[in-house]
Every structure is written in structure tokens, then in C-alpha cells.
Amino acid sequence: MTRAAVLILLGPPGAGKGTQARMLEERFGLVQLSTGDLLRAAVAQGTPAGLAAKAVMDAGGLVSDDIVLAILKDRMAAPDTARGVILDGFPRTPGQAEALDALLAGQGQRIDAAISLDVDDAQMVARVSGRYTCADCGEGYHDQFKQPASAGTCDKCGGTAFKRRADDNAETVGARLTAYHAQTAPLIAYYDGRGVLRRVDGMAAIDAIADDLGSIVHEVTA
């Protein structure tokens, strides 16, 4: 890779953005930047942004652009992002997309690819409902689709404690899906208009999707 890449992973809740972002980090040395993870950390720390975001996240809505942009800009200022970033779960509204364009322009950077992971609504519900992660290293697992090789032990770190997200429940999933279709799906056309949109079949197996994404990274950073 000759220069720092800026990649966006677009897709509904459960599309596999986090799973793929972590694999891209390992393979290409890129840095995953997940606004969901940053917001959950702010909630856990009880910061003012976290306190304001918690109720919205629990209800499955989108946190205000102001809060998300402040958190994102802060993270983008850290030196490790110079290696190239994978934006996971950001932008999620047209306002965030425009703010990102302005932020990157100010740094002489641009978006290399906005990759839409396409999954249907039924698969999204199944993915979110069975999701859990290692409490120690954050590795993602799924009740049906991705179990640890040895039951109850994390493949990556050997940890034995796992957790589930409070918002991965049947009541909240509908609201998150509605928010995705209303506010985030329009970004597919936005990035298509800028000539950076790539579409990947998110219904495929994890490794097949990783291959598709790897090809895109090679192509856009060659």
C-alpha cells in the first residue's frame, strides 16, 4: 500500500462491518474507526456525550450529528489514523457525509472507496439477534454463524467471558432498521454520485467477503 487509505464500510446493523473491519486491520494495517464502539465507550465512561447518547442508542435511534462528529474528529486526530482508516458505521446521515468530506479536504485526504455490504432485512435481524463478543478482546461471534473453535473459549485471546449488546434485542432491531433505511441508505446514492461506491454481497460467507474487500483495497490503493 503506497499511501494512507480512507475506506468507508456502509451497511445495515449486522451487515458484518465490524467483522470485516477487524480483518482488514490485521491484513492491511489499517485502523478501524467504529463510531458505535466510540459511543459505547463514552456511555461506559459516563462522559457528557455518553450520557446524552445512551437513551437514543437504547431506543435504536441515531445519535445527533453534533455528538458523533465531535467524537469522530477527536479520534481522527490521533496519530495512528495516518496508517489509513476503515470507517465502520460512519457516516450514517447525509450531514455526517458532508462533514466528513470537509474534514478530509482540510487534511488533503479523500475517500478511496465507500463499500456497501448488502444484506437483506431478514438476514440483518438474524445476524444481530445471535451476535456476541469476547469481553476481553472484542472478537465477534454468532450463535449460529460463527462459534469459537472450542466452545466457550475465544479463538483470538483464550478469554472465557463473553458479552451481548443491550441494543441487540428484538424490540430495538426494528427501530435500527428503520433508521438505516431512512437516514443511511441514501448515502449509497451519494457515494455513487462521487464515483467511489463499491457494492459487495454481504450475504456471502465471512471469508468470501474478506476476499472481495481485499481486492478492493488492493485496487484503490495501488
Supply the residues annotated as catalytic.
Answer: 17, 92, 131, 164, 176
- Contact between 51 and Zn ion per CB under 5 A: no
Q: Which residues share a beta bridge with 33? A: 87
Q: Which of 121, 145, 155, 185 binds ligand ADP (CB under 6 A)?
A: 145
Residues 15-54 that bind ligand ADP (CB under 6 A): 15-19, 35-36, 39
Residues 139-178 that bind Zn ion (CB under 5 A): 139, 154, 156-157, 159
50 interface partner picked from ligand ADP, Zn ion, none, CB below 5 to 8 A per type: none
Question: Residue 3 or residue 147: which is nearer to ligand ADP going by CB?
Answer: 147
Q: Which of 209, 213, 216, 217 binds ligand ADP (CB under 6 A)?
A: 209
For the chain, give the secondary structure using H, E and C: CCCCCEEEEECCCCCCHHHHHHHHHHHHCCEEEEHHHHHHHHHHHCCHHHHHHHHHHHHCCCCCHHHHHHHHHHHHCCHHHHHCEEEECCCCCHHHHHHHHHHHHHCCCCCCEEEEEECCHHHHHHHHHCEEEECCCCCEEECCCECCCECCECCCCCCCCEECCCCCCHHHHHHHHHHHHHHHCHHHHHHHHCCCEEEEECCCCHHHHHHHHHHHHHHHHC
* Omega before 94 within 30 of 0, i.e. cis: no
- Contact between 11 and ligand ADP per CB under 6 A: yes
157 interface partner picked from Zn ion, ligand ADP, none, CB below 5 to 8 A per type: Zn ion
- Contact between 131 and ligand ADP per CB under 6 A: yes
- Contact between 57 and ligand ADP per CB under 6 A: yes
Q: Which of 54, 75, 176, 198 binds ligand ADP (CB under 6 A)?
A: 176
Region binding Zn ion by CB under 5 A among candidate stretches 64-72, 78-86, 104-112, 129-137? 129-137
Q: Are 62 and 69 in contact (CB under 8 A)?
A: no
> Which parts of this chain interact with ligand ADP (CB under 6 A)?
11, 13-19, 35-36, 39, 56-57, 60-63, 68, 89-90, 92, 96, 127, 130-131, 140-142, 145-146, 167, 176, 205-206, 209
